[in-house]
Amino acid sequence: MFATTIRSVSLAVLLAAGLASAQAPKKKKEAAPQPAKPLVTKAPKTCSDQCEIIENVCADPCKEIKNNAQAKQACEANCKQMADACSGSCKNKGKLDAQYMMENIKPPKAPPGVKVTNDDDH
């Protein structure tokens, strides 16, 4: 009986050692992802400050376009149009006026060869 107990204990020790070595190594804690840099670091005080923020926020994605020069140019043109409409709103209304902006920002033109469907009809 004593021999059976010793065999059982030694078998349990061997199984525990085998399981411990068979477990996947523990992963180190992954570094927490860095938070995104805030787009606006200070509150705008004037209408022109707001327009500057709009221009910078719009221009950032355009800088990331590298493979398609035509798309990059269209993106930059749209940003310029938004910045111009914002400046015009500041000059004419003294503030950012949604109606003025909607009247002065035209939708971008589709590239040649692209068929455009009008979603407003549905």
Q: Which pLDDT tens digit goes with each residue over 55-103?
A: 888 888 888 888 888 888 888 888 899 889 999 999 988 888 888 888 8
Is position 66 within any domain?
yes
Is position 69 within any domain?
yes
Is position 99 within any domain?
yes
Could you tell me which residue, 74 or 31, shows the higher pLDDT? 74
Could you tell me which residue, 98 or 8, shows the higher pLDDT? 98
Could you tell me which residue, 49 or 25, shows the higher pLDDT? 49
Confidence at 41, pLDDT banded by 50, 70, 90: confident
Identify the pLDDT of residue 1: 54
Distances (CA, A) of 42 to 69, 83, 113: 33, 19, 43
How many structural domains does the chain have? 1
DSSP string, 8-21: HHHHHHHHHHHHHH
Is position 7 within any domain?
no
Identify the pLDDT of residue 16: 60
Is position 103 within any domain?
yes
Is position 71 within any domain?
yes
Identify the pLDDT of residue 70: 84
Is position 14 within any domain?
no
What is the span of the domain harbouring residue 68? 47-108
Question: What residues contact 90, with CB distance under 8 A and at least 6 apart?
Answer: 47, 48, 50, 51, 96
Could you tell me which residue, 36 or 97, shows the higher pLDDT? 97
Is position 2 within any domain?
no
Q: What percent of the chain is helix, strand and coil (3-state, nearest 5)?
A: 60, 0, 40
